[in-house]
Structure 1
Amino acid sequence: MTGSPDVDDALRTAFEGEWARVVATLIRVTGDWDVAEEAAAGAFERAATTWARDGVPRNPGAWLTTSARNLALDRLRRRGVERGKVQEWLTMEAFEGRMRGPDDPADIVGARAAEPDWDDRLRLVFTCAHPALPMDARVALTLRAVGGLETGEIARAFFVPEATMAQRIVRAKRRIRDTGIPYRVPPPEQWAARLDGVLATLYLIANEGYLASSGDRLQRLDLAAEAIRLARLVVGLVPDDSEARALLAMLLLQHARSSVRADASGDLVPLDEQDRSSWDAAEIAEGLALLEASGPGSTTERGPYRLQAEIQAEHARAETPAETDWAAIAARYDELATLGHSPFVELSRAIAHGFAEGPRVALAALTELEASGSLRGYHLLPAAQADFLRRAGDASAAAARYREAIALAPTDPERRYLERRLANLTGA
């Protein structure tokens, strides 16, 4: 950072608002992922120095776009690309009016025949979701390009070593280049083959926004908002797909709580302590409507996003923590567990059954999950054990688990929250 709070804030805001926009446009214009990412990163590095010296420009996004364009131009020239071709690619006309596509789903559907009007970030998501790429590579590459996440952050989201994730991203970029995967939103007949990857990508982008994998912030609301924006566009493309609608519903219902998930210091406020009157009523209403209304010809299968949206809906409908229907939530997690093994689902399932049936039920399930080793090193497992041990009256064992969770916590807000829980328990 620059040492100037105003400049640092401007850089953070600009990164959240402009990174994906600049990278996606550079990829479209140059066709080179590495040049796009290097030029965008270089533009932000220049901004840190220049803005600290000259002040933050009136239009930071335009400044960054111009800087990234010039850096991309330099890199392509050094690679020996013909000068005239480079200038043709990187004229400002290629950028102006292309940084955003239509936001309204109706406009998106109407834009099918006019490929240049597509949103560059939507193009990027569909390119990353190409079926020629392994699913984990699709999601990781999109988190890098659209979310601006560092490789280490993506690795933590996937629970794999950073070196492994770096190799996946490099291989995915190479395959896109070598197989000539086009950078575009595919024609409608190909959407079904891409949809699972697109939805999985948006889901993980939103997860990183909802609970950051590292750093000094609990949430990255820019990523959560971007996931919602892109999910709206996808629903506009496939309005009769129940899972696309359910994903958007889930994201809205989850995002409705974002303003009160952290206190004034940025620290975690758990669900049962949140001011529910401050939840976003409009987002809740829209999310519930997406679940409850069936469009013409819509499918009704209860897939993973539908079930998770129904879980979020149970929380949204409860006016107080005591009114939460934990039995219904536990039943949804039971159903979700039948769709495929996920240790994260099993963790949430154990917690839900604990609230529905008592702490001993949760602790038995959590002990079994711990023995499997599938969540070794994941802080929320000992955190959940600590909470249910506290509720069961075993303060000593709870304190030990809190200390374990504190040592593993990846973000400062979560660590401070767990430290407060431990202090309240021990009186320290």
Structure 2
Amino acid sequence: MQRIKARYLIETPDEPMQVAEVLAGEQSSGTFVRVANESEDLKALTRATVEVIEELEPLSEPSLPNALLSRQGRGGPWRRARVTVSFPPANIGRNLPTLAATLAGNLYDLGGTTGLRLEHIDLPSEFRNRFERPRHGVRGTRMLTQVEGRPLIGTIIKPNVGLSAEETGTLVGELCEAGVDFIKDDECNADSEHAPIAQRIPAVMNHVRRWQDKTGKAVMVAFNISDEHEAMLRHADLVAREGGTCVMVSLNWAGFSSVQALRRHTDLVIHGHRNGFGMMSRHPALGMDFQPYQTLWRLTGTDHMHVHGLDGKFSQPNSEVIEGAHDSLAPLADPADRDDIVMPAFSSGQWAGTLPQTAKAVPSGDFLFMCGGGILAHPQGPTAGVKSLHEAWAALAAGQTLAEAAAEAPNLAAALSFFGRSK
């Protein structure tokens, strides 16, 4: 069968091909010396292979410290190269933690490097099909929320701590009436003492069901069930019993195996929150890009992936946010498999004024557009905040600028005046 391919950026004072070969050996069959029972036949069966190496401009200073090189008195120039390595799927089987350990494990600690970053993963179709798939993805999310032809307008419960279960339910009821499609818990609010999840889920769903009975509109709520594994399963079951459709998980802290097991346990939409990804991505010579990160997590069967927001409050440039959205909407292996895509969630400092560029970046409209402060801090209240987003989308659909539409859209006009000033 075809092999798994991974592309890395490496930095080293040594010959890049030599370091690439060490990486390939370390992450498959090898160690730094030949060992007993090691044969050429075994190496041919299990060893990773360096496929491509492209040397880049060197650096005059190392990107990261390296105690081994310092002890050896080694200096630059610090050579950089993009390296593609292929791995035999037989080494991994159907084991997601082993896939992650193979592609992003001890290689970060290699003694000959002052920088190493995983940039891209390519999976063969047969290997991809060994793992979980999105149960809902874009198509299922649209069906459950009854939203077609536009992005889903969403928000985050704010303040994320402090509201009681009943107060949270009341706020959700108000947001439902305002016309929101999607509501999620904050990543820092899962099972707090002031709003225990066993109380918050029924309190919120009481208002969601009431609104659905009245209007037929199904608002999706992503309850943050991040917890010990068995507790997560119990929380998911409670959401399902209460008629909910979605749960949210802090992916990095729950772990691959737990999310994978959650996917097998429940039919609920899984909203994947990537909080903590910045520690893997912000240094350009360390960690990984979003493409390999979201590839690994999509193998757990998640349906939504956070990508941050355009002109938001976080450190990412817009180009990375857009690329993350495009990665989420790309099938993992078979380009024709449109069911193997997940819905990107734009979040972080979003409001009506950032909707036009987001819609331009994802012309299909297949995204969650989530505004915390952009709705809940609207000067005329949360209802006006939601309406400002609907008015902004109507303007875009009509070919108007937001400024042009604001003359007859009071909620949008207030948002542009209030948030536009702070931006």
> What range is the shorter-chain TM-score in?
under 0.3
- Give the TM-score normalised by structure 1: 0.25
The structure, 1 or 2, with the larger RCO (C-alpha pairs under 8 Å, 6+ apart) is: 2
- Give the TM-score normalised by structure 2: 0.25
